[in-house]
Amino acid sequence: MRAAGLLLAAACASCSVQAQTQGTRAPQKYEALGRDILSELIAIDTTVDRGSTVAAKAVAARAIANGFPAADVTLVTPKERPDSSSVVIRLRGRSNARPVLYINHLDVVPAKREDWTFDPFRLTERDGWLYGRGTIDMKGQDAAVLASLIRLKQEGFVPARDIVAAFTPDEETRAQWGVSWLLKTHRNLIDAAVVVNPDGGEAAMKKGRRLYVGVQTSEKIFVTFELEATDKGGHSSRPTAENPIYRLSAALARLSTHRFPLHLTETTRLYFERRAALESGQTAADMRAVLRQPPDMAAVDRLSAVVETNIQLRSTCTTTMIDGGHAENALPQRARATVQCRLIPGETQESAAAAVRSALADPRVQVRVKTAAEVAPESKPAPEIFKLVETVTRAMWPGVVVLPDMSAGASDSVFTRAAGIPSYGIDGMFDDLDDARAHGKDERIGVAVFGEELEFTYRIMRTVGDLR
């Protein structure tokens, strides 16, 4: 942590952190607290049918019982949705500078007992693992954020600016009553200069080896189109070339081979530059070659053949649903397909629609927007954010690289970015790239990984208030 003194010159906050650098796990007392919070949250079913109000109240009670004044713990509930409360906790800082906001969702995707080895709604420790729905997405992180807030409070730590943490519902579903609702109706409560969203961060390992801590600065924007071909139909004994199922199928076949142009952003350029250092041979060379001006197109082709790198290089569209026809002995009058696109930030719904139309190459196939894009800009990969994460990462796990990251999926950061608040996904809970269980069966985190996550979250939270 010595570097912290250099990077955050004004941050004497970092001085006493040095006392903690010996271990990479949180002190026993706070690891126990983190585990206790995690266990409580896992036991509260926060799937869409149950809502998050019970969990929000539990978080509020936990904060108040551990030293937060009730005035700094605010429960807010949409009138229309009593099951969708959020709770906002404020650790008061020493200045009026706009706060740092942590956003944390409390809801989880459903899990069926019969599909799992253990009860998904009961934290179970087995062979060094903690099992339960939400351990990795994201009740583990919720517990780390809450335990860190409590630890800072109990240590008497006063950050340079307020640190605010919102625990919210409805991220895994329609994202209607969580962060987007809070921004619309309670902006004052959660207004901030910068957002940290642990849900967007990705700490990755393979075969037990820690590789990188990904800081999410942007995410692909999704837009869904409905395609439709129609015809007057008729008896199946009198087929015609106008059959909408054939027309639509032929158009979709053309779409399937369409490749969007290479589109690198500040984030993905830095990503490939640093990722190349973790790779070797042809892959490393290709990652460097796509960054050249002009880019090496053979390298682009090779990286495009791998899903993981292809989605970092360009926007994509793919067909996700199809239906057509109305009787087995009738010519179809209608065929429809759903196409979902994931766009590089900076591209628009209109540019995607134009690309889809041109790839379909059949003006009689109608293209309509089914789900409109929620547009958000990239948050600049700001050097001071990266220095902060690098300082904590290096002190805890020497050799682990910090990478900027553009998620292909979506998180609540889309709303805070759209509201003009730079937002960064930061998390230190290492997950195996070859064994991703978020949303899946037997979701779990390592006991030691969770202990380190508690410490990582604490160290980031302790210094993040010093950002200028």
The footprint of Zn ion (CB under 5 A) covers 137-138, 199
**Closest approach of Cβ 108 to Zn ion, in Å?**
8
Residue number with CB closer to Zn ion (137 or 442): 137
Return the DSSP state at 400: P
Contacts of 398 by beta carbon, 8 Å cutoff, 6+ apart? none
Contacts of 213 by beta carbon, 8 Å cutoff, 6+ apart? 201, 202, 203, 204, 389, 393, 400, 401, 402, 403, 426, 427, 428
Where does 191-329 show beta strands of DSSP type E? 194-196, 202-206, 209-219, 221-230, 234-235, 316-324
Residue number with CB closer to Zn ion (157 or 456): 456
Place of tokens 């158009």: 251
In the Cβ-directed half-sphere of 339, how many Cα atoms lie within 13 Å? Answer: 32
Dihedral in degrees, nearest 10, Cα atoms 460, 168, 179, 340: 100
Residue number with CB closer to Zn ion (138 or 341): 138
**Closest approach of Cβ 170 to Zn ion, in Å?**
11
**Closest approach of Cβ 200 to Zn ion, in Å?**
8
* 55 and 44 Cβ atoms separated by less than 8 Å: yes
Structure-token pair, residue 304: 């495009």
Residue number with CB closer to Zn ion (138 or 221): 138
Q: Name the residue type at position 59.
A: V
Residue number with CB closer to Zn ion (172 or 347): 172
Residue number with CB closer to Zn ion (403 or 429): 429
Residue number with CB closer to Zn ion (45 or 137): 137
For residues 294 and 289, give the distance between their C-alpha atoms in angstroms, rounded to a whole number.
9
Residue number with CB closer to Zn ion (199 or 453): 199
**Closest approach of Cβ 230 to Zn ion, in Å?**
40
**Closest approach of Cβ 107 to Zn ion, in Å?**
9
For residues 385 and 372, give the distance between their C-alpha atoms in angstroms, rounded to a whole number.
31
**Closest approach of Cβ 46 to Zn ion, in Å?**
12
**Closest approach of Cβ 56 to Zn ion, in Å?**
16
DSSP H helical ranges for 134-211: 139-154, 179-185, 187-190
**Closest approach of Cβ 137 to Zn ion, in Å?**
4
- Residue 229 CA, chain-centre distance (Å), reads 36
**Closest approach of Cβ 223 to Zn ion, in Å?**
21
Q: Phi/psi of residue 174, each to 5°?
A: -100, 0
Residue number with CB closer to Zn ion (162 or 427): 427
* 360 and 367 Cβ atoms separated by less than 8 Å: yes
**Closest approach of Cβ 251 to Zn ion, in Å?**
35
Contacts of 296 by beta carbon, 8 Å cutoff, 6+ apart? 286, 289, 290
Place of tokens 């599909």: 115
Q: Which of 320, 301, 306, 314 is nearest to 343 (CA)?
A: 314
Residue number with CB closer to Zn ion (72 or 374): 374
Contacts of 155 by beta carbon, 8 Å cutoff, 6+ apart? none
